[in-house]
Amino acid sequence: MSIKRPSSNDDLLQLQEEFFRDRETQNIQPAAAVTNLHPEINKRPSTEPGNRKPSKYARSKGLKGSDAQASTSSVMGDILEKNIEDSQQRKPEPDDDKVYFPVVLPSVLGNIVEKNVSDFVDFEPKAMPSQGFPEVTKFEPSTSRKSVRQDVNVNESIKMDVDINVNLPSKSFIVSSKEASEIHKENVKLLSEMSERDILEEQKKLLSNLDPQIVEFIKSRRQANKQDIVKKEVRFEPQETEIKTTEDSMDTDPIPDNDSLWDNDILSHPEVNKWLHFDSLEKDKLEWIKGIEESKKIKADEPYEARFDFNGYLLPYTIEYTEKTKTLFHHGDEPHRPGYSITELIELTRSTVTQQRVLALNTIAGILEYHSAGTYKNIIDIPLSKLFFIVRIAIDENKVIVLEPALKAMRNLLYNRIDEASLDALIGFEEGTLQPCLENDKSEIEELESKESEFNDYHLAEIDIITALLRTDILQRLYYILDAVRPSFNCVQYCLQILTRLARDSFETSQKMVEMENLMTTIIKNFLPVTPVNFVFDASIVYKRKPILAALKLFRILSLQTGDITHVLLHKYEILKPVSEYISSKVDRAYGLKIQIEAYCILSNFLHFGLGIETAISLSPVIMTTFYNHVESTSIFTNSSILSATHAAVVLQLLSRLLHCNLQGFHSHKTQMYPLVKDGVQKWVRQLCHADDYTCGHLRLLCSALDLCKTVIMIECLPMKVLNESLMLLFQSQGFERLVKNLIPSSNLLSGLDSSDLHLIKNLMSLGGAAIDTSQKVLPVLNILSPVPFLASLSSLLTYMNEKEISESFLRHMLFYLSELSKRVPSLCDNWFTRMETNLVINIIKLSTRFNVSEGSKDLLYSVANKLCYILRTDKKHDLYFLFNNVVFNKHWFTAERLLNLVNVSDPDSFSKALTSIENIKMCYRKVVNMNYRETGPNILLKSWREPILPRDWIYMPILTLYSWHQEAGNYPKMVGRHAKKIAERAAAEREFIIISSLEWILFNEICFPELLKDIDVTDRFCRIMCVFLCDNSLFLDARIKVLLQKCTEALFKRKSKFNFDKPLVGLHNFQDFYTQFLEQFQAVSYGDHTFAACVLVPLAQKHNVKWRKLLWSEYAGCLRALDCPENMLCYDMNDYLYPEETDESVIKSYLRALSSNLLRPDTIVHKIASHHVECYKKRIST
């Protein structure tokens, strides 16, 4: 029977059916012969089934003879062709398809390996399948194929084929889910297709790649079911090598009984086996979800790492684990504590997962917001410089989802919203037309740059964050975001607010912004289009030709800088075009009113510099119409709109600016405006008189109306009778009484707060608008019932009206406030918002000087005027000039009682010129203070509003100035010659004049106004007097100066109990260096002056630190010979130098050495001191 080679599976199946049919009819042999297709190799002929011996494979399966069933092709293993010694020679088979056995297809039957084993004689053929035909298997493309090997010259040990199924378990002991049986069958099928060598190789690879702990876990699972496993061993001949299954060969460790992971609630879930990758327990991965350990108890004062919730709020050490709080617990360093630390948040900002970066940036933004508000003041220190760089790097991301929280965080860091809201609350008041410059002191930066060749960004950020930010090209980045990225409304607002804070920094920063044409053009084009503003606000308006309020505020701040910047904004960027459109638009919605308020302010700023006059004239009809509508409909009652009151206030401010400009084109509108001013003032004053309550925000309308009246009086130089009547009615009303009662609670100067009570940041200038430790959380002057802005405007108007009766009525209401101010030490003098109150006080003093003041009020007003001298800031030099001329150095303000005290205490001969030389004293102080005043413009620089004109101890300022000059004189070469001699004589005369004038003034205040000096420490005052001896080598010997020095020291010695030389001194590095210099000067030029000696002896009292006695008696013992004064000139009683007895042995040795070396004159103060303590020491030793 000839069989053709099958060409397909169908042919193969057909051949199989024919074979089965022929077998049933006994037409074929019961077994098939193995045919070798190679003609050079002889094959053994087929034998009968009965004569064949069972193979070792058959015996291993318990089969005999022809009953042995060969395994299917999927598990039968490799087919080995063997060379056998046989005498019979067969003819070579033709190379055709007529074969007795189907051609083996490797893809179906597996791999064929041919081996030459000529040295093997005892060959028993492998049993064939009983049906005589191999089973058909499905072709698996993924099955790996191995090339056929032919080893001709290598002798190998014979390895019998093994059925892998024999050694495989019947079920899986690792997987326990419902699909376990199916997974096990698939694994068995895969293993059955692999050889023993392949299995061992794969096992080795798996063991090398898997975590050892995972292997141990698998072993433990296997061990748990070990009693159900039947161990089987397979031996291979001839090596007799014992091979164990993978599971049996693994060491097993039992699961610990106390493993907390097994108690975790998540592992007890009934559906846990259905979850992905929960078919095996991975201890390390599950460690973080085990039960939360109980938080350890900590002491109340024990510090711990700060952790924050997702809003940036500081969390306590531990909180209750609930559904709301469970998201705050995570697998960090402290899993028992909720929240994220700053370190963890910084790590998350560098995550490759966008959502984690967004979460971290949002949390950092919240932290910075709370920090900016002062919530974390004195609680935690936020590393602002580190967070600054983290946020700045994140801003370079173009994904809006990341960009928005990054910009928000930067906005919260730089843009203090409390300060900005406080400044915006002043819009409509006169003080609101001025804006502070928030530039940090650059002196430290300049010093470090000069010393260090490389000054990195982090060091710069530690000193000034704004400078560091500008160094990172933030302006270019913000331009790209606004122009190219075109993000959401929130991102745009954050960008504009950051730019606003940069504009407040300095003139140079504003100049950079204005010179960046692309940035300015983009903002004007997209956010300040020429379009009406009567629309409903929605966040979707961005980039849709609608104005953005934050952009208008930015240009309002820029327009206040300098005339040059305003000129560029007007002519280069034509900013008044959209401003004119906004003012001309008819609006009745809140957003439109806010836009118009900013527009009116911008136009007012332009008019201040004399710019935009044509635009203002063209808008005059619109402005007058708006003014008329406000007079008719706007009120200051608390139930009315505060936004409408603000809108009316800025309209009135613009009219006041127009009057100041004295424009020709505006004269025609004056006749229309003045009646409206009269009607408006009458209406709003009457409303205040009858109001049951009020708010500071509503009063801004009346303030702007009073300011407009002041301008009208200045321009027209005519009294306003209606205004006089209205004000007299106001001062007699209950409404004004109610308003004045809130003056002291709303006073910054009387608040008792200090700069340390405010939230101020060293490397980022702020205004300190938040007083987080107070009940109202804001400065007193900014509270909702504060009358200070209104009273400041009212007092300013009264100084121009020159109406005695009205002014006196106003002053009577202010007496109680002035009385409190004279008694207390003023606070918050350097705060920006205190300026309004300072204006009120200076206006009160100005009003008082115009009329005769009673003797009882003179002391009160003089005391307040004296305090104003160190309250006023640099931009108020003209006010200080007024105080010096009219109050402080005006003898008419010295009451008879004060003068009597001076005559009784002083020597009439020595002080006969005290009052007649008051002009000389004034001249001296004016010269030293440098009273030349110069207008600084609307923008006030750093030192102009934070730094005072005079220090608190300003009466000692001439002496300190001379002391400073004398210290620096030694650094210059000495000049000789006739001209140099004249210069030296003139300088000596000037020094004498300054010292005499200042000592007279100091003594006058010590005797007549001691309450004005009580807040200056006595030790500081004493050190100032000591400086007189260091200003010149002989000037203190002048008779007049000697008397003045003696009187000044006597006045200070009366407060000897308050001397403390160990505390830090104002204006001095430390007292030790100063006292050392003082001793050197005494040793060199004292000439035995008693007052000089009395000053040297003050720190030597036994109550003071022993180091001062050591310094004199050891290092400067040369002073002892000349050191003496009458006992009545001593600061302390003699016993205070003798008792308690000296116990320091080094000082006693110095006493003994001075006595034995003839350094002391007998009967001197120092001789008595040394003798007493040495004798006391000898007595102690003897007893």
Contacts of 103 (CB under 8 A, 6+ apart): 5
The sign of the dihedral angle between the CA atoms of 133, 134, 135, 138 is negative
CA distances from 228 to 164, 223, 224, 253 (A): 20, 10, 9, 17
**How many whole angstroms separate alpha carbon 599 and alpha carbon 530?**
12
The number of CA neighbours under 13 Å toward the Cβ of 913 is 11
Which has more confidence, 345 or 123?
A: 345
Please report which helix (H) or strand (E) contains residue 151, including its range: strand 150-151
Q: What is the pLDDT of residue 935?
A: 54
Name residue 661's amino acid.
Answer: C
**How many whole angstroms separate alpha carbon 653 and alpha carbon 427?**
10
Contacts of 402 (CB under 8 A, 6+ apart): 354, 357, 358, 361, 394
Whether residue 333 is predicted with pLDDT greater than 50 in this model: the reply is yes
Percent of the chain beyond pLDDT 90?
Answer: 48
Q: How confident is the model at residue 481 (pLDDT cuts 50, 70, 90)?
A: very high
Beta-bridge mates of residue 435: 939
Query: Of 1101, 1110, 1120, which Cα lies nearest the Cα of 1053?
Result: 1101
- Is the preceding omega at residue 238 within 30 degrees of 0, hence cis? yes
CA distances from 78 to 83, 126, 1031, 1113 (A): 16, 11, 114, 111
Which has more confidence, 1034 or 491?
A: 491
Query: Of 618, 617, 613, 595, which Cα lies nearest the Cα of 547?
Result: 595
Q: What is the pLDDT of residue 902?
A: 61
**How many whole angstroms separate alpha carbon 974 and alpha carbon 960?**
23
**How many whole angstroms separate alpha carbon 1051 and alpha carbon 1000?**
13
Listed ranges 76-80, 226-230, 704-708; the one with the highest mean pLDDT: 704-708
Both tokens of 552, joined, read 């208008």
Q: What is the pLDDT of residues 734-756, one digit of tens each?
A: 999 999 999 999 999 999 998 88
DSSP characters over 629-656 = HHHHH---STTS-HHHHHHHHHHHHHHH
Q: What is the pLDDT of residue 121?
A: 46
Please report which helix (H) or strand (E) contains residue 242, including its range: strand 241-243
Q: What is the pLDDT of residue 1111?
A: 94
Distance of alpha carbon 343 from the chain centroid: 14
Q: What is the pLDDT of residues 573-597, one digit of tens each?
A: 999 999 999 999 988 889 999 999 9
Name residue 591's amino acid.
Answer: Y
Whether residue 289 is predicted with pLDDT greater than 70 in this model: the reply is no
Contacts of 275 (CB under 8 A, 6+ apart): none
For residues 642-651, give the mean pLDDT.
Answer: 95
The answer to whether 1153 and 1119 are in contact (CB under 8 A) is: no
**DSSP code at position 873:** B
Whether residue 109 is predicted with pLDDT greater than 80 in this model: the reply is no
Which has more confidence, 724 or 534?
A: 724
Q: What is the pLDDT of residues 155-171, one digit of tens each?
A: 443 333 444 444 566 67
For residues 601-618, give the mean pLDDT.
Answer: 92
**How many whole angstroms separate alpha carbon 53 and alpha carbon 50?**
8
Please report which helix (H) or strand (E) contains residue 513, including its range: helix 507-515
Which has more confidence, 747 or 302?
A: 747
Q: Strand, coil or helix: what is 821?
A: helix
Distance of alpha carbon 355 from the chain centroid: 23
Q: Strand, coil or helix: what is 369?
A: helix
**How many whole angstroms separate alpha carbon 814 and alpha carbon 1152?**
66
The answer to whether 752 and 827 are in contact (CB under 8 A) is: yes
Q: What is the pLDDT of residues 362-407, one digit of tens each?
A: 999 999 999 999 999 888 999 999 999 999 999 999 899 999 999 9
Taking 3-state DSSP, the helix, strand and coil percentages for the chain, each rounded to the nearest 5, stand at 55, 0, 40
Distance of alpha carbon 143 from the chain centroid: 62
**How many whole angstroms separate alpha carbon 59 and alpha carbon 82?**
20
Both tokens of 570, joined, read 């007007």
**How many whole angstroms separate alpha carbon 325 and alpha carbon 210?**
37
Q: What is the pLDDT of residue 1080?
A: 94
Whether residue 519 is predicted with pLDDT greater than 90 in this model: the reply is yes
Q: What is the pLDDT of residue 782?
A: 93
The answer to whether 1025 and 998 are in contact (CB under 8 A) is: no
Q: What is the pLDDT of residue 323?
A: 85
For residues 1014-1040, give the mean pLDDT.
Answer: 92
**How many whole angstroms separate alpha carbon 1167 and alpha carbon 1137?**
11
The answer to whether 1104 and 1057 are in contact (CB under 8 A) is: no
Quick one: how many helices (H) and strands (E) in the chain?
A: 49, 6
The number of CA neighbours under 13 Å toward the Cβ of 283 is 15
Whether residue 38 is predicted with pLDDT greater than 90 in this model: the reply is no
Q: What is the pLDDT of residues 126-156, one digit of tens each?
A: 555 555 555 555 444 444 443 434 443 434 4
**How many whole angstroms separate alpha carbon 361 and alpha carbon 357?**
6
Query: Of 122, 125, 23, which Cα lies nearest the Cα of 65?
Result: 125
DSSP characters over 408-426 = HHHHHHH--HHHHHHHHTT
Contacts of 526 (CB under 8 A, 6+ apart): 482, 542, 543
Percent of the chain beyond pLDDT 70?
Answer: 76
The answer to whether 729 and 686 are in contact (CB under 8 A) is: yes
pTM, two decimals, is 0.74
CA distances from 137 to 12, 57, 75, 110, 184 (A): 12, 22, 11, 10, 20
